[in-house]
Every structure is written in structure tokens, then in C-alpha cells.
């Protein structure tokens, strides 16, 4: 009994330590990638963060599928301990990463060091213009944040759009229904009549599709067609997927709680379409968009807020999903569909396009926006690369 109690406490302690590591990583990596990436490739480079997360989930599903047949009690131990491998690679890799030029200048470092780093990561000696933009932005940020905590700054009227995005986007991404797929896909597939092995294999298939479409969006599409288009098309497909999934389950489950073999395959297909749409839209773009919109003086506070809201919502959905699923049954997917409608409307009306805009000149997108311009007081910089938002004007 004593040994079992020790094992439980060690497992809890390990989860707490893992939580610290995951929290720090989710805060630092999107900002680092956004600051170090050239503006025209920022979407592809920063989108690689979510692609890596999806790949990790896919590999974890493969490991779970392979270890679930080990009946000696070592299966779950192998599954859990394998997480140490990517953590080790991350730790070793970080040792060789340079600091970003933005961080060096913002912290009062030697501008010559920042120049050398910028020249190395850009592959050219001609970095004067970009270095000057970073220096000007850092000087302005230092003046604004000199006597005010960055979290208090984030509450100011001038940063209202940034605060709204830091709260709304992680809230929305957790009500897409993707948590139901990530956490409970095996349970859901078993509920509709698949055995344990088949349900795990279905999960592996869906996560593989999610990885392919996330990688496609990150590398091929986001810097060409823009963030808004991917958000809007992904939202439309996710709404259709939720309606289709809810309809099939409502008609098939009824009182006996199982579906026919044909309908079970239809459910797997619909889930695959859903995760594909999420993979090219809300999955990578939420991290990308929040990683690139915050000005230097509130960048850390803004990203911290985003990560906190994301994990709080993730926790709330994980703890309540089974109870809500038992209560609403197939109606849960209609609820998710309604949430995605609201999210897509939010993107259409309130989210500007950031494709190709340097981070140091991102203030202009809010100054030009039909709604957010009433809050910000940034002067329009005519040298800024203009976005192509194709957004509505009221």
C-alpha cells in the first residue's frame, strides 16, 4: 500500500514538473520563432511549432497503439517514460540556439552582437534597415514600459485589440471540439462499436491526417494566401463536420448506444475531415497569430496571457467533456458547431491580415482596421508592408 502511494505521488509530481516545462515552452517558442523568422517566411517557420506538436501527438498515439498489448504492467510505463526522449532533444538543441536580435537589443545588449546574429540568420551582411527597425521599436518599447508593468500595460486602451486576441483565440480554439478528438477519440470510437485496438488505430489515422494538413498549411499556404483565408475556410469545414457528425450519431446511437459498421466508418471519415480542417486553420494559426501581433513592450505579457487562457480552457474542457457528452450525447457536436460559427464570424469581422508585415511595424494593421482603429493611437507608417486583408468595412 505504501509503495503504491509513493508511486501515485511521484506520478503527480512528475506531471507538475512536466506542466512547468510545457508552459515555458509554449510561451517561449512561438515568440522566438516569430522574432527570428524573416517576415515573408514567418508563417511557415512559426507554423512549424504546431506541426511539431501534432507530430508529437501522432507519435504518442503510435506508441500507445504499440504498448497497449503489453499486459505485464510495463506498457503504460514505456508509454509515459518515452516522453523523456523529445524533452532531452529539446534541452540539448536549445543550448546551440542564438538569442534573437530583438531580445538582445531590447535587454540593452551590444548592438554589434545583435548585428552579427541577424547577419547569420539572414545569410546576408545587408541588415541595416531591419536592425534599425528593431532598434527604433526597442527604444519606443523602453519608453512606454519604463515605469509600468507589462501586464498593466496590456490592460490599457491602446492594447485593447491585443488583449482581446490573447483571450479570445485560445478560448475559441478549445471550443472547436478538437479536445474531444485529442483526449477522447479512442473512447468515442469504442462507444460507436470499435474494439480497443481498432479505436486506437482510428486515432492514429486521424492524427496522421492532422499532421499532414498542419504541415501543408504551415509550409505551403499560410505565407501565400494569408491567415484569414485559412481561418475562414477551416471554420466552414469544421462547422459542416460537426453538423454531419452530430446528425449521424443522433440517428444511429439512439437508445442502444452503438452504430452500424458503415456508420462507424462514416464517423471516422468525418473526424478525419474535421482534424484536417483544424490542421490547416485554428491549430497552427492561433500560435502563429498571437506570436506575431504583440509589440515589444507587451510581447511577453501578451503571450503569457494567451498560454494561461489556453491551458485553463484546455483543463476545463478536459474535466467537463465526458459529463457534457453523457448529458447532450450527439447534441454536443451541434454545440461545438455553433461555437465554430461564432469563432469564424469573429475572424471575419475582427481579425486583420498579418501576412508579410514586419513585427516592428505590426501596429499599422490595427490603425487601419475598421473597428480596432478607434482604440489604438499608432501613427500610420507609410513604409510598412501593407497587408491584403480583404476584410469588411462597416
Quote the CA–CA distance of 149 and 151 in Å, as a whole number: 5
Three-state SS for 309-331 is HHHHHHHHHHHHHHHHHHHHCCH
Q: Which residues contact 42 (CB under 8 A, 6 or more apart)?
A: 33, 34, 223, 288, 292, 359
Quote the CA–CA distance of 185 and 16 in Å, as a whole number: 25
pLDDT recorded at residue 197: 60
pLDDT recorded at residue 161: 96
Rg (CA), the chain: 23
Quote the CA–CA distance of 210 and 218 in Å, as a whole number: 12
Quote the CA–CA distance of 202 and 234 in Å, as a whole number: 22
CB contact at 8 A, 75 and 68: yes
Regions in the chain scoring below 50 on pLDDT: 1, 255, 380-394
CA 84 distance to own-chain centroid: 22
pLDDT recorded at residue 215: 84
Q: Which three cell numbers stand for residue 165?
A: 486576441
Quote the CA–CA distance of 317 and 8 in Å, as a whole number: 24
Q: Is 369 helix (H, G, I), strand (E, B) or coil?
A: coil
Q: Which three cell numbers stand for residue 303?
A: 503571450
Whether CATH 1.20.1250.20 fits 2-97+148-374: yes
Quote the CA–CA distance of 277 and 214 in Å, as a whole number: 9
CB half-sphere exposure, 259, CA atoms < 13 A: 24
CB contact at 8 A, 350 and 136: no
pLDDT recorded at residue 142: 82
CB contact at 8 A, 195 and 261: no
Quote the CA–CA distance of 354 and 364 in Å, as a whole number: 10
Its pTM stands at 0.84
pLDDT recorded at residue 183: 62
Amino acid at each position: 500500500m505504501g509503495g503504491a502511494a509513493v508511486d501515485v505521488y511521484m506520478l503527480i509530481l512528475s506531471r507538475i514538473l512536466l506542466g512547468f516545462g510545457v508552459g515555458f515552452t509554449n510561451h517561449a517558442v512561438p515568440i522566438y520563432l516569430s522574432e527570428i523568422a524573416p517576415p515573408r517566411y514567418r508563417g511557415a517557420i512559426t507554423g512549424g511549432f504546431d506541426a511539431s506538436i501534432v507530430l508529437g501527438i501522432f507519435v504518442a498515439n503510435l506508441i500507445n497503439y504499440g504498448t497497449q498489448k503489453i499486459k505485464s504492467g510495463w506498457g503504460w510505463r514505456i508509454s509515459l517514460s518515452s516522453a523523456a526522449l523529445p524533452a532531452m532533444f529539446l534541452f540539448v538543441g536549445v543550448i546551440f540556439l542564438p538569442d534573437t536580435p530583438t531580445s538582445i537589443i531590447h535587454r540593452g545588449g551590444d548592438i554589434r552582437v545583435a548585428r552579427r546574429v541577424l547577419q547569420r540568420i539572414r545569410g546576408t551582411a545587408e541588415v541595416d534597415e531591419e536592425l534599425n527597425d528593431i532598434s527604433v521599436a526597442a527604444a519606443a518599447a523602453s519608453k512606454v514600459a519604463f515605469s509600468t508593468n507589462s501586464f498593466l500595460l496590456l490592460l490599457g486602451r491602446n492594447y485593447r485589440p491585443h488583449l482581446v486576441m490573447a483571450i479570445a483565440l485560445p478560448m475559441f480554439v478549445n471550443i472547436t471540439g478538437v479536445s474531444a478528438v485529442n483526449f477522447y477519440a479512442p473512447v468515442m470510437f469504442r462507444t460507436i462499436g470499435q474494439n480497443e485496438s481498432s479505436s486506437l488505430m482510428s486515432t492514429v489515422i486521424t492524427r496522421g491526417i492532422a499532421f499532414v494538413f498542419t504541415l501543408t498549411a504551415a509550409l505551403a499556404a499560410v505565407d501565400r494566401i494569408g491567415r484569414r483565408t485559412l481561418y475562414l475556410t477551416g471554420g466552414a469545414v469544421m462547422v459542416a463536420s460537426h453538423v454531419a457528425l452530430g446528425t449521424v450519431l443522433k440517428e444511429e446511437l439512439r437508445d442502444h448506444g452503438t452504430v452500424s459498421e458503415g456508420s462507424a466508418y462514416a464517423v471516422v471519415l468525418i473526424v478525419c475531415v474535421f482534424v484536417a480542417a483544424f490542421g490547416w486553420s485554428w491549430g497552427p494559426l492561433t500560435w502563429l497569430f498571437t506570436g506575431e501581433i504583440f509589440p515589444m513592450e507587451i510581447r511577453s505579457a501578451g503571450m503569457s496571457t494567451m498560454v494561461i487562457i489556453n491551458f485553463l480552457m484546455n483543463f476545463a474542457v478536459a474535466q467537463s467533456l465526458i459529463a457534457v457528452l453523457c448529458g447532450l450525447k450527439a447534441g454536443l457536436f451541434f454545440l461545438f458547431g455553433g461555437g465554430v460559427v461564432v469563432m469564424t464570424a469573429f475572424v471575419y469581422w475582427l481579425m486583420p491580415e498579418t501576412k508579410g508585415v514586419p513585427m516592428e511595424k505590426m501596429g499599422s494593421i490595427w490603425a487601419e482596421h475598421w473597428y480596432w482603429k478607434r482604440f489604438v493611437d499608432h501613427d500610420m507608417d507609410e513604409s510598412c508592408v501593407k497587408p491584403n486583408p480583404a476584410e469588411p468595412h462597416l
